[in-house]
Structure 1
């Protein structure tokens, strides 16, 4: 269990699980889990699944280490993303990455919540069923919704989840995937990752035509309630 004093490293470990657990258990994918960073390479030309994260670089060799990671993806000819978090080191890592040629293209606000404080929803969107994924058909629905975030839909996203199916459908997988069905139509997704003594929420997506109906809220709350029922206490959002 994470305490307020170690939420940043707990969040980093959770992110590393989200980013790399599938790769570690899928043939043809690669994970480099070094003490000072995690590098995951899906083998696909998609920066959604080629990631560097949990960087804890010593200042004296930070530039050399980040260059090694950048050069890996340059050598294999695949795009990648580097995820920075408050727990990363050294403090000027972002500036070093920009100096090395990377660009900041997105940012999100990190939050934490005690699951004991999460209330059940007072109202539920009519016709919505939220199902945790246990079948290939459900996983395909999940992948199709995630892929729809690109125009046209990203075929590499579909390929990734097809390759990852065996790992993701394991009973002991730390990634819990959900699909929201509105009147039996798949319209939304959520992922809850267990790792680092916390649970983390990722991939909260609702198809554009179904937004502003409370579906995204339901997809956020239900996995957290499930995690609380399983004894987890802290969530990273």
Structure 2
């Protein structure tokens, strides 16, 4: 895989020309910034920018003013190759808080020598599609057990995504117990499907459940005509994904600003 060419394609299709990512979302280009505005319970933020040192601070201030006016917390999704090189420092100075650094990884499906698609979950675990509210509730339960975080926002978002048909959501079941869950975003009119939300409950980690869900979604992506899978990988998942055939392309860091979130002060 030509990593540089694929990264350029990723930047063009999923960032500079980003489509709306779900029901009620819209994408706007304002100067050298592309932002996505979603519903209050969805994702809001900046997906792409082409800033210069001279114009960066004004562009940042403009996005803060916009999302503050909407009463929304928002994220500036910063990639390792974005310019100017000190953009992360400028975001922190403007009141953003950086999250964990992850690795943007891409794998090619449907090609000889690409992703390993034959990996199955361990014995006694089956993969089932999520198609209704009851399934979404199980996914939310797995999320809370796997990450120790409230999943009420995820639950509302998944309800909308299933209705719109933009996502493939799956559960790994051990008997009647949900032990892992994940989703895949099918980005229309692009070469990419995105892997998101993979989480396995304690007691089932290290058994190959996560690998099985990745391979399952890769097969679905290939069947639906997508060429690439992308994922923002944590340090824990990166080695697993590399063994499956994914390539690290760059880093990605979420910078979060409170915007106009009630009870939180926005930066001046």
**2:36 partner SS:** strand
The equivalent position to 2:222 in structure 1, one of 228, 231, 234, is 228
User: What TM-score comes out, normalization by structure 1 length?
Assistant: 0.77
Q: Aligned equivalents of 2:74 and 2:98: distance in 1?
A: 13
Quote the residue 2:174 is aligned against: 182
Q: CA 1:182–1:79 in 2, change beyond 3 Å: closer, same or farther? A: same
Q: What secondary structure sits across from 1:210 in the alignment?
A: coil
Distance 1:98 1:209 in 2: 38
Cα 1:200–1:10 change in 2 (3 A) is: farther
Higher strand share: 2
1:191 to 166, 169, 183: 183
Deviation string 1:72-116 (CA, Å, 9 cap, x unpaired) is 333444433221124534443222212212122211112222223
Return the match for 1:209 from 198, 203, 206.
Answer: 203
**Is the 8 Å Cα contact of residues 192 and 201 (structure 1) preserved in structure 2?**
yes
Q: Distance in 2 between matches of 1:236 and 1:162?
A: 23
Task: Give the 3-state SS of the residue equivalent to 1:208 in structure 2.
Answer: coil
What is the CA-CA distance between 1:223 and the residue it aligns to?
Answer: 0.5
Matched position secondary structure for 2:79: coil
SS in 2 for 1:129: strand
Give the Cα–Cα distance (whole angstroms) in 2 for the partners of residues 108 and 73 of structure 1.
Answer: 25
**Distance between the aligned counterparts of 1:18 and 1:179, measured in 2?**
28
RMSD over equivalenced CA pairs, Å = 3.1
Instruction: Provide closer, same or farther for how the CA distance between residues 52 and 101 of structure 1 changes in structure 2, counting only shifts above 3 A.
Output: same
**Alpha-carbon offset, residue 68 of structure 1:** 1.9
Query: Match of 2:6?
Result: 7
| 1:97 paired to 2:94 | no
Matched, 1:106 2:100: yes
User: In 2, are the aligned partners of 1:148 and 1:154 still within 8 Å (CA)?
Assistant: no
1:45-194 alignment runs, 5 A limit: 49-86=43-80, 88-115=82-109, 116=111, 117-121=114-118, 124-148=121-145, 151=148, 153-167=150-164, 170=165, 173=166, 175-194=167-186
In the TM superposition, what is the alpha-carbon distance from 1:182 to its structure 2 partner? 1.7
* Distance across 2 between alignment mates of 1:163 and 1:143: 14
Aligned residues, how many? 223
- Look up the SS of the partner of 1:181 in the other structure: strand
User: What's 1:21 paired with?
Assistant: 21
Contact 1:114 1:233 in 2 (8 A): yes
The structure in which a higher percent of residues are helix is 1
TM superposition shift of 1:142: 2.1
